[in-house]
Amino acid sequence: MSKNLSELSGRKDLDKILFNKIGEIASKTGTPDQESMKQLAEEYLMGNANIYGTVSFYDFTRPENKGKKVYVCNGTACLCAGTQKTLKEKLSTQFDKSEIGEMCCLGRCHENHAFHYEGLNYSGDAIESLKDKKIEPGKNLDQYQTGNFGTPVLNLPFEDPKIIKETLAKAVFATPESLIEELKISGLRGRGGAGFPISFKLESCKNTTGDKKFIVCNADEGDPGAYSDRYIMEQKPYALLLGMMVAGYITGADSGIVYIRAEYPESITIIDEAIKNLNNLGLLGENILESGFNFQFKVVKAQGAYICGEETALLSSIEGQRPEVRTRPPFPTQQGLFNKPTVVNNVETLANIPFIVQNGGNAFAKIGKGKSTGTKLVSLDSHFKNPGIYEVDMGTPLKEVIHNLGGGFTKPIKAMHIGGPLGGLVPVQKINDLTVDFESFSQNGFLLGHASVVCIPVDFPIIQYLEHLFQFTAHESCGKCFPCRLGSTRGYELLNKARTTDLKMDRNLLDDLLDTLERGSLCALGGGLPLPVKNALHYFEDELREYFY
């Protein structure tokens, strides 16, 4: 990360973000041409190599993307469902092989057969409509089960303009200190995986001197199998936007940036529309509700990079730099976007704030279990009889989610990967031992993370699944640290050769590789990958034994 490049990128206002410009140019042909990149370098006073380094990193701007017309989801949920081979075969009857690319993940985990065509996502039986030339743009919003077990928090209605205005007024006519105190009482922790208290971030940013501050929403929900953030953005957008505005008021930030995955085009459209509605209600701009509070939003469309779910890589991305993980300290709350104090939180975390504003911290703290207060959204994939998004009180027995809300499995399942690719690989025999909260998962050697559930069928080889995880990490690594960049590739090679040839793995060598990844990686991508691998080696030792000598 270059501080100088951050300053140069920050010279322009939010309507001229370098990263958005790169994306706009790439959308025309699949990748910016040399002349366009040279012009951007001159306009932003950056080197040609800096611009090319950014362009060549992302799935949807790199030169290899040129000429692609349709993209197939290669996420773990679709992989385990086994739908994508047939989908590719059907697409190949209408597109040349060179015109078919891949995306990960489209968030259509509840019905699979997912693909991206002409800027929109499709799944289920949509491929048949495409084949018959009957597919209708704009008619592609999917349907899935939703429900609650316990106290609704995120599922409360926030669409009514009166409720929006009352909630915002309650916040901006309170003191920032009192709001931070309510958040401390609430115990609200980050829902993106780390479980870090949001009050600490907000207080740190508030107490940092700065002429400009930012609230950044990390809507780069890249965990395959997770679509809870997409659910909020598309069905509860005002809860998210209100949460960002309250965070802005607390910290003294007047700008909110929503960084949304390119793989979620419908989310981008709906959030844009919600921002326009807030503006029409007179709730954005200067002196909102005559309180002296100023705030505006900017939507940034990501371009396909899982690493941008890491907060510092995300900040570099917005700046138009290659999205490499930054060393800390300094932390973003002291030196973040464009070197200004910045709070970065994920969608679900921010969307909880309006409930706390309305009802107080104690009301939120009474929900849940121990230090895991409030509720959690859980994403269930297509292997459940009732796939969809469910909001449950923290501390809810996992068996309640699996068997009652999810309706049980549609076929025999041997494990569930919970919490994304870096989450724990939970064997089905552990279902009765777990509750949906941070502590229960940690104490049992797993990670709650995003609380996405991807099922691994009995007939799906565990070694193939682990190989996929290493391959995913190798593709998505930012490349800044050796353990992640090299270790993920070496791990993929080991597993691939053991699965496809007569070569066997040395268990000591694999254990050493996992230890190096875990202790030496700069961020959770390389550092988190060993967890599901270790779970697999422990719980599926009999199945994996034949691949070791």
Mean of pLDDT values over 497-504: 96
The share of the chain scoring above pLDDT 70, in percent, equals 98
pLDDT for the residue numbered 270: 95
Mean of pLDDT values over 283-309: 96
Cα distance between residue 529 and residue 447, in whole Å: 11
pLDDT at 158 over 90: no
Q: Which of 336, 365, 394 is the last residue of a domain?
A: 365
- If asked whether residues 519 and 393 sit together in one domain, one would say no
DSSP string, 144-155: -EEEEES--STT
Mean of pLDDT values over 323-351: 95
Mean of pLDDT values over 203-211: 96
pLDDT at 58 over 60: yes
Mean of pLDDT values over 16-26: 92
- If asked whether residues 238 and 340 sit together in one domain, one would say yes
Q: What is the DSSP letter of 324?
A: P
pLDDT for the residue numbered 134: 57
pLDDT for the residue numbered 135: 58
In a domain, 53, yes or no: no
Q: What is the DSSP letter of 406?
A: S
- If asked whether residues 159 and 301 sit together in one domain, one would say yes
pLDDT at 477 over 70: yes
pLDDT for the residue numbered 147: 94
Mean of pLDDT values over 510-529: 95
Tell me the per-residue pLDDT of 345-366, one tens digit each, with 9 for 90 and over. Answer: 999 999 999 999 999 999 999 9
Which residues, 6+ apart, have CB-to-CB distance to 242 below 8 Å? 158, 164, 167, 168, 353, 354, 357
pLDDT for the residue numbered 132: 63
Cα distance between residue 356 and residue 156, in whole Å: 12
In a domain, 50, yes or no: no
Q: Which of 316, 347, 365 is the last residue of a domain?
A: 365
Of the CA atoms within 13 Å of residue 208, those in its CB half-sphere come to 24
Q: Which of 307, 330, 365 is the last residue of a domain?
A: 365
Q: How many residues does the chain have?
A: 549
- If asked whether residues 472 and 503 sit together in one domain, one would say yes
pLDDT for the residue numbered 65: 79
pLDDT for the residue numbered 10: 83
pLDDT at 510 over 70: yes
Which residues, 6+ apart, have CB-to-CB distance to 458 below 8 Å? 411, 412, 413, 414
- 283 pLDDT band (50/70/90 cuts)? very high
pLDDT at 1 over 70: no
- If asked whether residues 205 and 245 sit together in one domain, one would say yes
Neighbours of 45 (CB within 10 A): 12
Mean of pLDDT values over 292-321: 95
In a domain, 299, yes or no: yes
- If asked whether residues 208 and 188 sit together in one domain, one would say yes
pLDDT for the residue numbered 258: 98
Mean of pLDDT values over 386-399: 98
In a domain, 1, yes or no: no
Listed range (10-19, 165-174, 266-275) with the worst mean pLDDT: 10-19
pLDDT for the residue numbered 353: 98
pLDDT for the residue numbered 195: 80
pLDDT at 525 over 80: yes
In a domain, 287, yes or no: yes
In a domain, 189, yes or no: yes
- If asked whether residues 516 and 397 sit together in one domain, one would say no
Alpha-carbon dihedral of residues 323, 329, 334, 339, nearest 10 degrees? -40
Q: Which residue has the tokens 């030196």?
A: 335
- If asked whether residues 382 and 442 sit together in one domain, one would say yes
Our count of domains for the chain comes to 4
Listed range (355-359, 381-385, 405-409, 479-483) with the worst mean pLDDT: 479-483
pLDDT at 92 over 60: yes
- If asked whether residues 161 and 247 sit together in one domain, one would say yes
pLDDT for the residue numbered 534: 98
At 94, give phi and psi (nearest 5°).
Answer: -120, -20
pLDDT for the residue numbered 131: 67
In a domain, 28, yes or no: no
Task: State the CATH number of the domain containing residue 403.
Answer: 3.10.20.600
Cα distance between residue 483 and residue 498, in whole Å: 21
- If asked whether residues 352 and 402 sit together in one domain, one would say no
Task: State the CATH number of the domain containing residue 476.
Answer: 1.20.1440.230
Mean of pLDDT values over 327-342: 94
In a domain, 415, yes or no: yes
Mean of pLDDT values over 382-404: 98
Element (H, E) at 539: helix 530-539
How high does pLDDT run on average in the chain? 94
100 is in which domain, residue-wise?
70-137
pLDDT at 2 over 80: no
- 137 pLDDT band (50/70/90 cuts)? low
- If asked whether residues 350 and 246 sit together in one domain, one would say yes
- If asked whether residues 199 and 330 sit together in one domain, one would say yes
pLDDT for the residue numbered 133: 55
Rama region for 50: left / alpha / beta (φ>0; ψ in -120 to 50; rest): alpha
